[in-house]
Each structure stands twice: as structure tokens, then as C-alpha cells.
Structure 1
């Protein structure tokens, strides 16, 4: 057991400014105790009889939620817990279990009144500890309430959207089969008049049309030139609806040569009806593909929101792929990234093992950091968001960088302070990075900032088995 001295107490942040004689008074009234790893220091229902100062070791503070432990704090060297000045708490509501052999000082709660009356600076230091505790608990409760509200919103949205999305996807599949049958029926009816290879050629046109719509569109000038050439070609062959058909064909990336090849499969008198049939068929196919993709995006968004808030899991730590949370967060913020034309670069180390984390909480870290990065690039001409992951075998490092204006050195050491914000009042509360810092600390990790003009990077370091 370490002999606790005034110098040791003064090395703790909570007692930095307390005069030595008051710390001596405090030590003379404390008792020392060792809690063996795995043992409980207190549990719900036990009276709060002491102020605890942690000299060494770690203690997990948690509550049981549906039979599973949910950790809300971790007491480490220099931490102060238990009874504090002016505290109204008399009974423990949580469990305190030592994660390793832990040495603590115990100051009796029944001596608190004497301390308040005679030891001003010591009292002031412990009141500051209590106010920080209240702030942290309040912020955590607010965060829990927001996540719970988001969970309820997701459940309602999922319930209302899953069935329609599934119905749309089923209808699209049926319609695609019906279009295929219609094409086959057309071939069978006109088998004696169609050249061999007609179906294969039409299939190739459909695939080209769908692929072209997924590529970058033509410029307005190039599309207009293509359309004008197609209108001229179609009108020379007396094709009905030439203007509308040319507009569609130009959108599919087709040329006069493609239309010539199609007509080569048909009798001459079928030119107009054949071209219009092809146009209607291609429009229907591509619209069905658009509907299928849009429905798939809704389904993917619902799944990502569910994974982001971790609605169906506990808040306990469990091993998970760190990249899944990052990808789900990018999906949930896709609307912002696309709205700001942000280019996203991902350099993920696929060899990183699963990490023991609180999944929902850590997703909030990624969301806050990426959201801040998007805001920071508001006036950047070509905004770039870069995500990197790596591991050294013991720790995982996740860096989130942007090419915004950067954070001035004069305020860099304040960005993690609660309520500090460089954003207008309507855009920020100053709690985003404070929440990031607290969640990362719950994982026994660190978050650091590196910033120069034109480049800002937040690096989150988390032990693989925290």
C-alpha cells in the first residue's frame, strides 16, 4: 500500500490549488483501503458514508439495465467520488467494482460539516468536483434521452416504411419479369419477320442505357447536339414522336448508329412502331431500375440508422468492427456530404481486429467529428473529408480530417471545453466535442487535435480490449 502524502494529493487535478495545511488536515482524518480486483466497493442501497479519493487502480461505476451492466463512469488515479459538500445524495444507486487492485482514501461524510466551516479552499475544490459531476451526468442524461428519442423515431419510421419499401421492391421485380415476357411475346408473334439476335441486341441496349444513367451526364451543349442529330435522323425516316424519342435516346447515350443497327432487325414498314416500342421499353426498364435503387437506398438508410443508434443492443461493451460504425455514420450523414459536394476519402486498415467498444456511443463520436468537419469546410472550394484507420496491435487509431480553414492555435486547447464553440449560436451548442471527449475517455482512450491552416485532423485512440 502506497503511503499517501500531501505531495501525492497535490499532484491530482482536484487538489492542485489546496493549501498544504488543509490537505494535511484532510489526510489526518482519512483511512486507507485496498479493494481487490473484482470486488465491490459499494452497491445500490448502501449509504454514502465516505468521500473516496483514488490513489491507484480503477473502479467501474455501473448500473444494471435489463440484467446487463451499463458503465457510466470509470474512477481512476486522482478521481474523487462518493459524498461531496452540499450533496443531497444519501444512498448509492450504482455499483462500484474494482477492475484491478485499487487503493483509495476514505474521508468520513460525518466530518463534512467541520470541513465546510474551517477548510475553505478544500471545500471549494470538492464543490468544483461536484459541479463537474453534475454537468457530466446531466450531459449524459441528455445524450441518452436524445438517443432514446432517435430510437423511438427510427422504430416508427421503420414500421411505416419497411412494408411499403418491401412492396415496391416486390412490384419492381414482378414488372421487370413482365417486361421480359412482353419482349419475348413480341418476338414470338413477329418471329418470321425479325432477324436472329434481336433479343440479345435489345438486352445489350437496356444494359447500356442503365449503365449510362449511372455515369456522369453529358454537358447541356453535348446533349443538345446529340439530340439534334437524332431528331434529324428520326424525321428523315418518318418516325413518329421524333422529338421525344430523340430526347430519351440522347439521355441513354444512344447514337444514330445504334438506331440503324436496331432497324436492321426489323422489316422496313415497322420502323416507326419499332423505334417507339424500343423507346417505351427502355424508359420503362430504366425507370424501374431507378425505383429499385431508390427503394434500396431507403432500406439501407433505415438499416444504417438502426446500426448508428444501436437500437436493438445494450450499452455494454462488446467486440465489433470499428469500420462498420464509420460506414453507417457516413450513410446517415450522406445528405449533408452530398449537399456540400464533399469528397470522401477512406483509407481503412482491413487487418484491424474487432475492438471492445460501446457501439452506439462511439457512433456518436464519429457523427460529431464528421459533422464538425463538414461545417469547417463551409467555404472550401473543393471540400475533402479523409478517414484513416490503423493499429499498432494494442490500440486502434481513427483519424478524421478535413481541408477547412483550420483551428487557430490560440483556441485549440479549448475546443474540448463544454459550451465552447466557434459556430454561431443557431448552429452549435459547444457540447459536441465535450461529448466526444467523455465517450472516448469511457473507452480508456484519447482524442487529440492537429490543425494548421487548410488541414484539421482529430485522432481518436482506443485500446483494442478496453
Structure 2
């Protein structure tokens, strides 16, 4: 086994300035170890009772996510890791797998504790390693939390955007088909001889049908019966075009409308005129559907902009609290529908605007509402209730779900960093920690009360936050 020297330890940046006598103590306190590629230094949940000083080689730390190992850290020469002085970590967060043959020093937790009473400079270097690790790990987990949240929102948004986008594609194809039919319809119209007195009433009838304020809300059976009546009327007048019957039924054409039209044009002109009307109505319907789908996409994009406040100042602003909650619900709309959750709104619309960081506050609503949906989802349905009210110089927001509740033994821990009851990959345990920090930033408070069937998060925010 290769002997490790003080000179090799001094090649490690953190140990360069450590006195030789302390490094000598470290060499004597540690055991020399070697690992081959593929070997494991430790497994997930093993006691973290050894410090590793990597002289040569590399290893990676992996966590189990969705049944697969995912690399979260790559550790190479000169690294000091594992158990560190004053660290509260007691078990390994993942699997330590050697990727390149390792030569290292291993120091037991007992020796590290002894070091803290004997060697100040060496202890200081180890503590510096620990604080750096905490900072990097926190940053990584916060980034992971953001990615998890982004993944949830983007999945819902992708589904919401896909529906109107697919509708636009279908309608565009249908519109193209309608335009291809137009020459044939025009040929039939051109072949008939209509008097000028017959043309105006037809145009007026089309305009009147299209300008009706609201189409009658009827059931599928009622629509089918109406279409059958129109089909019979057309057959009585020697017109066997079932597509025309369906279009006229969709636009609330009645037999009275058809009788009025019949009185305005001759028998020979009736079929071509109805074909012309059918083409106009279908084109109008397709264009209306495209407009509605485009409006839906525009509305979703607007909600994203409002949710992120991407085009606004990052300073505090006076905003309507309800707008942030509504935009958050819009972002989570697909997830609410998928979980079959009913939303009950109890807003006080007389509330004054509050001076807040709008984008940050939307993270609060997202985390709390998303947790509520996750809690209710296993039941196959649920009720999400959000209320707002003025409470002195504060605005009180209550977000209530009828899920299973928070067990008593973890209620005091749910706001702790990295604490999570969700399975790996669905959360990092930073959601409610983020909520706490943002609410403190606003000089507000957040509390939770929970019993089975009723979990309530109460957020209070000052109206004027100067």
C-alpha cells in the first residue's frame, strides 16, 4: 500500500497552511485505504462516521431517483468529505461509488472529535470544508426544488397549450378544405339564375344567423332531433346533403328559418343557395374556433408573464393579492382538473393593494397550493378553499384542503429545510422553507393548523411593507 506523506497533504489547497505537526497527527490518526473502480466507499443511509481525504482518484455520489441512480456530486483529488466536525449529518445521503482507483485517508468520527480539542488550524480547515459543503448542497437542492416546481408547471402548461394548438392545426386544415370547395360551390351558384330581389334576402338571412347573440344551449339528443327534422325538411325539398343538415343544426337553424328562406328563392335555386350558406357558416365556425384557441394560448402566455412578473421591476410593488393567486391557479389548472379537485373562492374584493415582491409571493402560493393538491390527489377528489380578508394592517390569506392532514409527529418539522414526506423526485423538502423565507422577507407570518380532513395554511402579509 502506497505511503502517504505530509508533502502530499500539503498539495491539498485547504491543508497548505496547516502546521506540519498537525498534519503528522492527521497521518497517524487516519488509516490508509484504497478502492478500485466500481467499489463503493459507502451506501445510502450508512452511518456517516468517517472522514475521507482523497489523495488520488475519483468517486461519485449518487441518489436513487425513480428506481435509478442519479449522480449528484463528483469528488476528486484533494477533496475532503464524509464526516466533518460539528456537522449534524448522521447518515450518508447517497451511494459513494469509485469511478477511478482511489488512494485516500480515512479518519474516524472519534479522532475528528479529538482533533477539535487539540489542533485549531486543522479544525478550522475542516469546518471550512463543512460550511462550503452546506452552501453547495443547499444551492443544489434549491435549484432542484426549482426544477421540480418548473417541471410540474411546465407539464400542465404543455398540456394546456397543446389542446388549443392542436385545435388551431385541425381548424387550419379544415379551413383549407373549405377554400378548396369554394370554386365548386361558386360554380353551382353561377349556374343558377337568381333575381336581384332573391340575393339580398339570402345575404340578410346569413347575416342574421351569424349575428345572433348566443346560440341555444341544447343537449346532444336535442341537437340530434333538430338535425333529423332539418334532414327531413331537406328531403322533402329534394336535397340530400347531410353535412348541410348538421351545419344548420349547429347554427340553430329552425324549420321556420328554412321556410322563410324557401319563400325568398325559387325551388331551382334552393339547393345551391343552401350549399353556399353551409360553406359560409362552416368558414365562420372554423375562424371563430381559431380565434378562441388563439385567445386561449394568449391568455396562458399572459398568465405566465403575470405569474413570473418577467417584464416588471423586481422591487416591491403595490399589487392586488387576488391576481397572484388567480395566476397561480391558472398555472396549476391542469393539475387541479387531473386530481378532480373543486376550487372554492371566498375573496374579499374590497381588499386594498399590498406592497410586495409579486414574483416571490407567487412562489408562496405555488408551493402551498401544490402541496394541497398532492395531499388530496390519492383520494381521487378534493376541495381546495382559498379565502382572503383584511385583518388590521394585514391581509390574511387562508388556503384550506380536505386531505388526510399532517400527522402530529411531523407538524413541527414541515417548515424545516430539506424535510419532505414526498417520494424521491417529487420534492426536495425546500418548498415550505422557501415559503417561510419569503414571508419573513415581507415581515409577515405563516401558520398551519391540521386535522384529518382539514389542513389550513394561514398567511398574513402587511399591507404597506415599508
After TM superposition, is the score higher than 0.5?
A: yes
Find the aligned partners of 1:200 and 1:308 in 2 and give their Cα distance. 46
**Which structure 2 residues correspond to residues 229-248 of structure 1 after superposition, within 5 A?**
229-241=229-241, 243-248=242-247
**Which structure 2 residues correspond to residues 82-121 of structure 1 after superposition, within 5 A?**
117=117
Find the aligned partners of 2:369 and 2:342 in 1 and give their Cα distance. 12
Q: Deviations over 1:109-128 (max 9, x none)?
A: xxxxxxx649xxxx9xx99x
**Which structure 2 residues correspond to residues 75-154 of structure 1 after superposition, within 5 A?**
117=117
Q: Deviations over 1:213-243 (max 9, x none)?
A: 9x6x734x444333333322322222242x2
Does the Cα contact within 8 Å between 1:193 and 1:267 map onto a contact in 2?
Answer: no
TM-score (norm 1): 0.56
Find the aligned partners of 2:280 and 2:310 in 1 and give their Cα distance. 43
What's 1:48 paired with? none
Does the Cα contact within 8 Å between 1:325 and 1:359 map onto a contact in 2?
Answer: yes
Q: Is residue 193 from structure 1 mapped to residue 197 from structure 2 by the alignment?
A: yes
What's 1:206 paired with? 210
Secondary structure, aligned partner of 1:193: helix
Does the Cα contact within 8 Å between 1:147 and 1:309 map onto a contact in 2?
Answer: no
Find the aligned partners of 2:264 and 2:459 in 1 and give their Cα distance. 63
Q: CA deviation at 1:248?
A: 2.6
Find the aligned partners of 1:315 and 1:147 in 2 and give their Cα distance. 21
Structure 2, unmatched stretches of 5+, are 1-84, 88-115, 119-123, 159-164, 180-188
What's 1:305 paired with? 304
Q: Is residue 226 from structure 1 mapped to residue 226 from structure 2 by the alignment?
A: yes
Q: Deviations over 1:240-268 (max 9, x none)?
A: 42x22223333344443443344344333
Q: Is residue 354 from structure 1 mapped to residue 353 from structure 2 by the alignment?
A: yes
Change in Cα spacing, 1:432 to 1:147, as seen in structure 2 (3 Å) is: closer
Q: CA deviation at 1:358?
A: 1.2
**Which structure 2 residues correspond to residues 173-184 of structure 1 after superposition, within 5 A?**
none
Q: CA deviation at 1:291?
A: 0.9
Secondary structure, aligned partner of 2:310: coil
Change in Cα spacing, 1:269 to 1:148, as seen in structure 2 (3 Å) is: closer
What's 2:289 paired with? 290
Find the aligned partners of 2:149 and 2:425 in 1 and give their Cα distance. 21
What's 2:365 paired with? 366
Does the Cα contact within 8 Å between 2:145 and 2:431 map onto a contact in 1?
Answer: no
Q: CA deviation at 1:465?
A: 2.0
Q: Deviations over 1:103-145 (max 9, x none)?
A: xxxxxxxxxxxxx649xxxx9xx99x97988776665566789
Q: Is residue 418 from structure 1 mapped to residue 422 from structure 2 by the alignment?
A: no
Secondary structure, aligned partner of 1:377: helix
Find the aligned partners of 2:451 and 2:262 in 1 and give their Cα distance. 63
Q: Is residue 322 from structure 1 mapped to residue 321 from structure 2 by the alignment?
A: yes
Find the aligned partners of 1:451 and 1:230 in 2 and give their Cα distance. 59
What's 2:443 paired with? 444
Q: CA deviation at 1:361?
A: 0.8
Secondary structure, aligned partner of 1:429: coil
Find the aligned partners of 1:139 and 1:315 in 2 and give their Cα distance. 24
Q: Deviations over 1:285-322 (max 9, x none)?
A: 12111111211222222222122122233433222221
Find the aligned partners of 2:450 and 2:300 in 1 and give their Cα distance. 32
TM-score (norm 2): 0.56
Find the aligned partners of 2:288 and 2:415 in 1 and give their Cα distance. 46
Q: CA deviation at 1:409?
A: 4.0
Secondary structure, aligned partner of 1:457: strand
Find the aligned partners of 1:211 and 1:427 in 2 and give their Cα distance. 45
Does the Cα contact within 8 Å between 2:144 and 2:428 map onto a contact in 1?
Answer: no
Find the aligned partners of 1:303 and 1:275 in 2 and give their Cα distance. 41
Q: CA deviation at 1:360?
A: 1.0
Alignment coverage as a number of residue pairs? 325
Secondary structure, aligned partner of 2:415: coil
What's 1:336 paired with? 335
Secondary structure, aligned partner of 1:324: helix
Structure 1, unmatched stretches of 5+, are 1-84, 88-115, 158-163, 179-185
Change in Cα spacing, 1:451 to 1:236, as seen in structure 2 (3 Å) is: farther
Q: Indicate the RMSD between aligned Cα atoms, in angstroms.
A: 4.8
Larger CA deviation: 297-306 vs 451-460: 451-460
Find the aligned partners of 1:409 and 1:255 in 2 and give their Cα distance. 64
Structure of larger gyration radius = 2
